[in-house]
Structure 1
């Protein structure tokens, strides 16, 4: 006679016949259904976790919801422009800035320094300013002549801003920076609103913890701190951007220096039609040792004088290769020169005239404007 021990508790005895009624597959199916229902209920009770994913989605192993940083980045990337109001420091002076920056990083706005205001435009990664002599006296320092840049568009000196508007302030660049932010990290307050502080190589971006994760503040180099608002319609910004870019032909560059030879006269004596001046120049060696010199555009600005007064001025521009020299020329054809030369020819005796000249860097040639406008047009919807 043999005996068998019963199986583990809760397991059916294989010797007993199966119960009649509901087949085992249906029972298993009901069990699975109840299990899924329990998971769904758990998700509804748990709600959103700290990273924005639901507890139910994590428990079930399904795809998790995007983190707050991914949602914030997607929203920023979709914005056509952002508007900034704030300050930064330039050469120890506080500069007030009001800027509108497009998704691609083009910008229009104003800078105010020492009570003097200048208009600003940024396109293709370069920033240009249009201000008066007082503004440029503070912007360029004593090494340059403010009158060479005042009243015309000129490239912003590197030392003036201290940051790249495209890199620090464009919605697309900020979206990339925020997308890589950790799920949990530094937090703080902007006003009375709790924010994530996203610290990147460009700067610090303060994004609200609460949906829809608004960008409230940007901090960057040169003690820059800007309050931020979204621009829903970028059409006015792009229209103003195009107007300013169209006027950039001949914009000057205070950041480029030249060495020059002797100024000479060509075909001037007894020439009533005009007097040509020429000056050999080369690009000055970079201030930082070891950095290669770059080709540049040079503008000759010359004035002819006689009898204690200016007879006329002229300008001429051309490219100068980094490793070579070029000869700049321009011709004075003013009424003052023509009248003086007629009198000199008709009056016996010695008649002397002199000339003064200087060389200034040119940031944008007239031909380059068409290329810049094409870049602006690509930002315009429907273009």
Structure 2
């Protein structure tokens, strides 16, 4: 029987366990989207994970969603990431960069430019800006001729990620950001080759992944998906058909993994597991929901056929999460007020569990 602590071969990497640190926005980057020494320490502290997936990293300025997030589109950003990846590798870890284009989930106050999206339809809710939450603006709908350029942005960022020392990349295709917007049936009202029927709505995702595979190789390319998710007001029609078709294209491209969120019912998630012939990373609970992923959730999904299990918030307050899961030591509580406040408090200040001295 497979356990959470068995090793696993992922592309060219041997993971010492099946625990994946899920991508989590922490808004600790410096001006200009630069990674920092504190970020190097943060990820290095958590390097006992089988695989770390970084916070979302924007592939272009217009792709930036939140203030304080890092990028991978300038030489300076690449250089700033090298100490981060080196620190993780020095501690025996492996790290992928999550490439995240926010699309319509952005604001001119953050980027200095109007957000773009598949259609001129605003996201639901307020977006983060340097001066606080502001209503999501109506994005500029991309012209058909512009769309491939944004798909290529993922590939360019992937090349820079590998140059910066990352072991691979995960395209953020979930949670209402740009790829998810193209998959959507209410954020994407296009009537060209990128909108309408399922075969058209998956096209942008397939082009972004294809370009990335060509840039850095299939073994270094994963994608995160949230089937049926409603983040930022997206809706999806024909969810089983949509994701079955997308998974068939991803299988053709032989990507390293698909990272699924539990945004649909278990019957559909199990159906998608059967439809996907490659490595499945499963996030067993709804991101930012009331429940955190626990050992029982992980064991259940390993039994249902997932190869790897991702844990998000558990890693924030428990840099030694793998050991705590292994030994049954209770998890330390997280201070949610420090998620996005910046600084090292609530970032580098959570210690590993201290066992009582013998004697």
After TM superposition, the score normalised by the length of structure 1 is 0.24
Structure of higher CA gyration radius: 1
After TM superposition, the score normalised by the length of structure 2 is 0.25
Higher helix share: 2
Bigger relative contact order (CA 8 A; separation at least 6) = 2
